Structure 1
Amino acid sequence: MESKINYRPSFPKKWFVIYTRPRWEKKVDKLLQEQGFESFCPVRNVENQWADRKKIVSLPLFTGYVFVKIDERDGFKVRFIQGVLNFIQYMGKPAIVRDSEIERLKHIMDAYNDVDVVSLSGVSKGDRVRISNGLFHNQEGEVIQIQGKHVLMSFDHLDCAVVTRVPISNLTLTVNPQQHYV
C-alpha cells in the first residue's frame, strides 16, 4: 500500500509592499489577516477638527501601502484580495523589504506617537521655491534650512530679508532665472 506524500517545498517568507485602493489600507490589512497572512499597516493617530467637534482618527502612515509577509507562491492569492491593486515593483519584480526594516518601523511606531511621513519633494537648502498656499501665497524665496515638515526661507525681493517657517507641502521648486540649461 502506497501512501501519498504531500510535498510542498518551503520557500522563505519575505516582506513585500502592496498598493491598495485609496483609503483601503486598514481594510486590506484586516482582510489579509483574515486570510491567514501576516501583514502590517502602520497607523498614526491624528486629531481631526470638524465644525462641531474634534475626533482622534487612525490614519495609515503610508497612504496607499500595506506590508505583507508571504512566500512567492502566495502572491497570486494576495492579488485577488479585495482592495489590493498590485505589488510595488523594483526592477520588474515585487519589491522586497528586509525583516530588519519592518522590525525597525514597528519599534518606531511603538516608541513614538507623533510619527509622520514627509516627502521633501526634492527641496534642498539653497533652492529657490514659490509658496503655493497660505499667507505668503505666490511669494518666492530661498530655502535657508529644512526643519522636519517645515522650511525656513527668506524673501529677498522685499528690500529686506524676511524669514518665515513654511510647510514643505506648500512649496513648489522654481527655476533660478540666472541658470541656463543647454
Structure 2
Amino acid sequence: MNWYVVYTKPKWEKKVAEQLDKVGVECYCPLIIKEKQWSDRKKKVEVPLFNSYVFVKLEDADRNLVFQSPGVVRYLFWLSKPAIVRDSEINTIKEWLEKPSAKDITMSPYTVGDKIKLESGPFLNQEAVVKEVNSKQCVLILESLGCVLKIDI
C-alpha cells in the first residue's frame, strides 16, 4: 500500500479525513495549533499543516474510494502519475508534530544552491537545498517532502 496525496476543497481537510475514516480509508491530516486573531478576541485553533491536502494510504486498485467524500477534488500528480509519499516522510511529519517546541536548529553560513543535510531539529537527516539566506531567515527546499522550510535566525 502506498501513501497518496488527495487535493481537497479549501477548508475541507478535516471533514474529508473524517469522511474517509468512516468508509475505512486510512488517512492522515497533519494538524497544528495556531493562534487566530478576531476583532474581539484571540483563540487557539487546530488547522491543517498543509492547506487543501490529505494523505491517504490505499492499494492502487482502491484509489477511487476517496471520491466518495464530497470534499475530494483530485489526486496530486507528479510526472503524470499520482504522487506517492514514502512512509519515512509521513513518519518524519508525525515526529516533527510531536515536538513542536524544538528549538535546536543551528545555522551555518550557507550560500544559495548549496545542498545540505540537516543535522538537528525536527527534520533531522533530511536533505535540503538552500534557496535564500538573509539576516533574518534561511529558506530551504526539502525536495523529498515537497515543501519549503523557513527558519528564523
Provide TM-score, normalisation by structure 1. Answer: 0.57
Residue in 2 that maps onto 1:76: 64
Match of 1:124 among 129, 132, 145: 132
Task: Go from structure 1 to structure 2 and tell me whether the alpha carbon gap of 1:66 and 1:113 turns closer, same or farther (over 3 Å shift).
Answer: farther
CA contact (8 A) 1:45 1:113 kept: no
Identity %: 42
Are the counterparts in 1 of residues 132 and 138 from structure 2 also a CA contact under 8 Å?
Answer: no
1:90 Cα offset (Å): 1.1
Report the equivalent of 2:137.
Answer: 147
Aligned to 2:3: 15
Q: 1:38: how far off? A: 0.8
Q: Report the residue type matching 1:69 in the other structure.
A: K
Q: Which amino acid aligns with 1:47?
A: E
- For 1:103, the equivalent position in structure 2 comes to 91
Change (3 A) 1:64 1:113: farther
Cα separation, 2, equivalents of 1:25 and 1:67? 10
Q: Kindly report the root-mean-square deviation, in angstroms, between the aligned alpha carbons of the 2 structures.
A: 2.1
Distance 1:76 1:147 in 2: 42
The 1-side partners of 2:31 and 2:101 are apart by 10
**Number of aligned positions between the proteins:** 113
TM-fit CA distance, 1:91: 1.5
Are the aligned partners of 2:13 and 2:52 in contact in 1 as well (CA < 8 Å)? yes
Shift of 1:145: 3.5
Q: By how many angstroms is 1:148 displaced?
A: 5.1
Corresponding position of 2:50:
62
Higher-Rg member (1/2): 1
Indicate yes or no: 2:81 matched with 1:93: yes
Distance 1:39 1:92 in 2: 23
8 A Cα contact 1:44 1:58, kept in partner: yes
Distance 2:6 2:78 in 1: 12
